[in-house]
Amino acid sequence: MPYKDKTSTKTPWVGQVKINGKKIKHRCQTRKEAIEWEAAQRQKTAGERSETHTISLLEWATAYLEFCEKKFVVNTFEEKKRAFRILFAGGVDPQLPVETLQPFVLLKHFQKQAGERSGNAANKDRKNLSAAWNWGRNYLGIPFENPFQRTGKQGEVRHDRRIPTLAEFWKVFETTTELQDKRMLLCYLYSGARRAELFQLRWQDVDFINGRIRLYWKKNQLGTMKTAWLAMTDEAMDALREQHRSTGKSKWVFVEPGTDHPYKYRLQWMRRLCKRAGVDRFGFHGIRHLCASILAGKGVPLVDIQDHLRHDHLSTTERYIHKIKETRSVVNALTGLKGAFSGEGPQEAPEKVDTKLTTVSK
């Protein structure tokens, strides 16, 4: 604030501001002039600070991950955090300003990741980091051009999701020794639930009277938690009653052995069970697809399958069962070919005989 210096008659008012720890003063004839000078100096300093201050890669990453931790489920958040950790561990200095990040550096990074991990993993990191850059562009004012998008995707080896047959599922079920594991497998088969949905199932979400369970999930762009009651079969509810008798004192339905905590990942569990049963490996989502295929095979309407799987869009459910219907129609068309034609080998058109050139020897 300006103050008045009584020792001066021509310029009694003194404006003062502090810039970079140093106090600067300026004499004025009136108090109004001193106030205006102080305001002009503060505005000038703020402008210079905004021009010189740059956001580092670490500041950008930290701000984005704080946003993601509140918006996304744990697995998605961990995936995004891992992408940054690998980027900085790969030689990119997190203290550098964001505008210094060059596409060529990122291209070399993703090429290395494709060689050491896989093209799929490198492209997943690229997608997450590209989304982070777009977020920073909207909220932090970082450069508009996205350097991650300029790198292009790495080559991928795509594998169709392994969907087990019902016989393979029961074979895994029979070779499972732990009772809790058997009950969990039954619940996955009858509910078609996603992995985390049953991991986070609580006893307050189990309605034994009406034979249903309540599931929670986050699958929309806003990250909003959604919930729905799902009707269950008598077999599934009987399994849950048995589970309640053994873990009913816990808050969670399925808990890690020796603890009162729910499962989080169980990454190798299905791998071990499949290996023990002698079947090709499949995962939790494979059981979800199996549930959809069973419903489709029994002629359940598509909209009812959508409700059971809790898909937001019918097109998602159609993708789940499209290959099943497509394969069945091809098999039906090829059935009964044996004996359809006389002779052996490919069917050929009868050989034509030119009667004009045919001579009869006497």
Per-residue confidence in pLDDT tens, the chain, 362 aa:
778 877 777 888 888 887 766 778 888 888 888 888 888 887 776 655 445 458 899 999 999 999 998 888 777 899 999 999 999 998 899 999 999 999 999 999 999 999 998 998 999 999 999 999 999 999 998 988 999 999 989 987 765 678 899 999 999 999 999 999 999 999 999 999 999 899 999 999 999 999 999 999 876 555 678 899 999 999 999 999 999 998 878 899 999 988 889 998 887 899 999 999 999 999 999 999 999 988 988 889 999 999 999 998 888 888 887 655 555 555 566 656 655 544 544 444 445 444 443 433 33
**What per-residue string of b and e applies to 214-250 under the rule 16 or more CB within 10 Å gives b?**
ebebbeeeeeeeeeeebebeeebbebbeebeeebeeb
pLDDT of residue 361: 39
Residues 229-234: contacts with CB under 8 Å, at least 24 apart: 230/191, 230/193, 230/308, 230/310, 232/187, 232/190, 232/191, 233/190
pLDDT of residue 342: 47
CA dist 14 and 1 (Å) reads 9
pTM of the model: 0.58
pLDDT of residue 7: 79
Q: Is 175 exposed, middle or buried (0-12, 13-18, 19+ CB in 10 A)?
A: middle
Which residues sit opposite 230 in a β-bridge?
213
Secondary structure of 180-235 as H, E, C letters: HHHHHHHHHHHHCCCHHHHHCCEHHHEECCCCEEEEEECCCCCCCCEEEEEECCHH
Q: What are phi and psi of 353, to 5 degrees?
A: -115, 125
